[in-house]
Amino acid sequence: MKNVLKSVAFVLIFVLFINLITIVIFPENSIKKYGVVNAYKYEILLEEDDLIDVLVLGDSLVYSSYSPMEAWDSYGITSFDCAEPAQVIQGAYKYLKIAMEKEHPKIVVMEPNVIFRDIKKRKIKNTLRTDIPRIVPISKYHDVWKKYGFDGDGVVVNANKGYNCISRTNPPKKPIGNYMKPTAKLEKIPEDNLQYLEKIIDMCNEYNAKLIFVSFPTQTSWHDAKHKAAEKIASDYGIEFLDLNLEDIGISWGSETRDMGQHLNNSGAQKVSRHLAKYLFDTGLLTDHRNDSKYISWNIAYEQYKKNLAKS
């Protein structure tokens, strides 16, 4: 028994220790301001205030399909993936609130799959891979020590801007074909979700940001019934809707998906990101910041991002 207590004490002191160290060595003020756990959950809190012009809300489709750094490279757009695995609309609202207050963006992109997800039926796989970082948040940004080493100024811990680099290819066993076959059905929307959507719309109005629905290419998580339902809501509320599943982006599903058609890999995401970046830039609401000295950290981050891509 004594030994069990000792082991428990060992683990508790460890967790305490590591959180202390996280706070001490993180140079970003936001960690001190918002706390370690929040900064882990809402990565945007590690960004500088008011530099980001586009927020992208949504689930894993967002962080697998849209890489903000590609948009930076092609149009000088500053954007950020405010995405969580299997995000529900309540979560999207919460994230949006935090991100809005910090960044005051010009455009909010929302991935409409979130609207169909029922918070009561939400299945989130609690794997250890996601749990351990939650207990030990620094494991996600542990490279921050390099800021105190050689060339510390060139170190960016959050260079991917919410995007998840995965280069692995794992195509569907049999080609899926046309997954957008027209149907007469409308996907059902869980009760409370519209209420939250209205809250999101209100907040965008309050901060004077344009809300756009963008659906990202996926062969297994999207179909015509969802498209039609999303289209209807978009027209009801007067929101712009871009369904990338219907656009000609040139995704080759034989080589550009990492999990049999559900999510894209780096190569697919590059195509989507550049396509969407053009669309966003064409709205005329955004400015190219590439030569703006205030945004130098984004140029540094891009270098780091390229390395991360190569190593993924």
Partner 1 sequence: MSYFNTGFAFFFVPLLAAVYNLIPRKTRPVLLLIFSLGFFFVISKFLIAFLFLSILSIYFIALKLNALDEKRDAILKTVEKGEKKEIKEKYKKYKRLFVALGIAINVSCLIAFKYLNFFGMNIYGLLNVFGADLKFKAFKFAAPIGISFYTLQALAYILDVYNGRVKADRNILKVALFLSFFPQIMEGPIVRYTDTAQALYSGEKIKYRDFCFGYQRVLYGFLKKFIIADRLNFLVNNVFDNYQSFSGTAISIGVIGYTVMLYMEFSGTMDVVIGIGEVFGIRIPENFRQPFFAKNISEFWTRWHISLGLWFKDFIFYPVSLSKVGKKITSSMRKKLGNQYGPLVGGSIALIAVWFLNGLWHGAGYTFLFYGLYQFFMILSGNLFEPLIKKICAKLHINRENIAYRVFQSVKMTLLVFVGELFFFAKTVPQGFGMLAKIFTSVKFSSAELLNLGMDKNDYLIVLIALIFVFAVGLLKEKNVNIREEISKKNIVVRWVIYYLLILSVVIFGAYGPGYLPVEPIYADF
Which of 82, 138 has the CB closer to partner 1? 138
- Please state, in angstroms and as integers, the Cα–Cα distance from residue 124 to each residue in 113, 119, 237, following that order: 15, 10, 30
Which of 29, 139 has the CB closer to partner 1? 139
The packing angle between helices 193-206 and 89-103, to 10°, is 10
Question: Which helix (DSSP H) or strand (DSSP E) does residue 40 occupy?
Answer: helix 36-41
Which of 21, 246 has the CB closer to partner 1? 21
113 binds partner 1 (CB under 8 A): no
Site string for partner 1, 210-249 (x = CB under 8 A): ----------------------------------------
CB atoms within 10 A of CB 48: 15
In the set 54, 114, 165, 251, which binds partner 1 (CB under 8 A)? 165
Phi/psi at 55 (5° precision): -105, 140
What's the rounded Cα separation, in Å, for the pair 205 and 209? 6
Which 21-40 positions form the footprint of partner 1 (CB under 8 A)?
21
Which of 159, 269 has the CB closer to partner 1? 159
Please identify, among the stretches 65-73, 149-157, 222-230, 263-271, the one whose residues bind partner 1 according to the rule CB under 8 A.
149-157
Cβ-based neighbours of 218, under 8 Å, separated by 6 or more = 61, 65, 245, 261, 262, 263, 264
74 binds partner 1 (CB under 8 A): no
Strand partners, 295: none
17 binds partner 1 (CB under 8 A): yes
Phi/psi at 307 (5° precision): -65, -45
Chain residues that interact with partner 1, rule: CB under 8 A: 3, 10, 13-14, 17-18, 21, 127-129, 132, 136, 138-140, 142-143, 145-146, 149-151, 159-160, 165, 304, 307-308, 310-312
